[in-house]
Amino acid sequence: MRLRVATYNIRKCVGLDWRRKPERVIGVIDDLGADVVALQEADKRFGKRLAALSHAHLTDTAWTPAPLALHDGGIGWHGNAILVREGVEIEATHRIELPTLEPRGAVAADLVVNGQRLRVVGAHLGLTGGMRVRQAHRIVAALGELEPRPTVIMGDMNNWQQATGCIAVFAERYHLVPPQPTFHATRPVAALDRLAVSEDVEVLEQGVLREGAARRASDHLPLWADLKVKGSILAAVAAVATGAA
C-alpha cells in the first residue's frame, strides 16, 4: 500500500512577493497529494512565536496538525510542524531537543497511515556544519531510544553537500533518498531539503513540486516521496479482513 510524505520549508508563509499568504501555502500543500507533510518555519521567530500557519487557517481543510505545540498559538515546535490528512491516526508525538546556539529542535509523530505504522520525523538543522553534525547525531540517538518503528526523516538540512556532514551521519543508520534541488524556488540548484528512511521502508518514487503557486509561495520547493512499509502487519490484517468480507 502506497503512502506519500512531503517536506516543505514554508518561510513563515511569506512568498517571493514578500506577502504573507497562509492560504497560498495551504494550496501548495494540497497540490502535493500527500498523506503527511513536515513543515519548517511554520511559526514566527519573534515575540510569542505564534504560528504563521495557524489552527484557524487549517479549519475546514483536510489537514490536522500533530499536537506538538507548547502553547495555544502554535501548531509545532521550534518552527517544525507535522500535518496529517484526514484518516491518518496520530498515536504519539515526540519533541527532540537539539544542541545549538539558537532555538532548534526536531519533532516526530507515530502514525498509522493506510494501515501502516510509520514514524515521521521533521527537522530544520542549523546554519553551521559542525552544529548540524551534532544535531544529526542527537536525532539518531533520540530515535534509538524509542520503540523501533518504520521511520522517515525529512526536513531542511541546510547542507549544500550531497553526502557529507550531517547527511553522512544519517546515512550511517538510514537510507538517503537521492537528492533533488529544492532551493532557490526561482532557480533550484541546492538540495537543502532531504529525506531518509529506515531499512523497512521502500521508496517507490520521489519528486519536487515545481508547478503553480509552489514557485512563489516560499523560497523552497516542496519535496515529496511515495513510500511502502515492508511487511506491514496492519496492512496484512486489513487485506485479510477485506478478503473475508
Integer Cα distance of 71 and 86 in angstroms = 23
Full-model pTM: 0.93
Cell numbers 500535518 label which residue? 83
Q: How do residues 101-156 score in pLDDT, each as one tens digit?
A: 888 899 999 999 999 999 999 999 999 999 999 999 999 999 999 999 999 999 99
What are the boundaries of each domain within the chain? 3-244
Output the average pLDDT for the chain.
92
Q: How do residues 28-48 score in pLDDT, each as one tens digit?
A: 999 999 999 999 999 875 556
Q: What is the pLDDT of residue 76?
A: 93
Look up residue 48 and give its three cell numbers. Answer: 510569542
Indicate the CATH number of 3-244 among 3.60.10.10, 3.20.20.140, 3.30.930.10, 3.60.110.10: 3.60.10.10
What's the N-to-C CA distance of the chain in angstroms? 19
Backbone angles phi, psi at 156, to 5 degrees: -90, 105
Please state the separation of Cα 224 from the chain's center in Å: 9
Q: How do residues 37-84 score in pLDDT, each as one tens digit?
A: 999 999 875 556 678 999 999 999 999 999 999 888 889 999 999 999
Q: Is the dihedral of CA 217, 218, 219, 222 positive or negative?
A: negative
Integer Cα distance of 227 and 215 in angstroms = 25
Q: Which amino acid is at 49?
A: R
DSSP secondary structure string for all residues of 99-146: --SS--EEEEEEEEETTEEEEEEEEE--SSHHHHHHHHHHHHHHHHTS
Between residues 100 and 4, which one has the greater pLDDT? 4
Beta strands 116-124 and 151-156 are parallel
Q: Which amino acid is at 68?
A: L
Look up residue 23 and give its three cell numbers. Answer: 492560504
- pLDDT above 70 covers what percent of the chain? 92
Q: How do residues 145-177 score in pLDDT, each as one tens digit?
A: 999 999 999 999 999 888 899 999 999 999 999
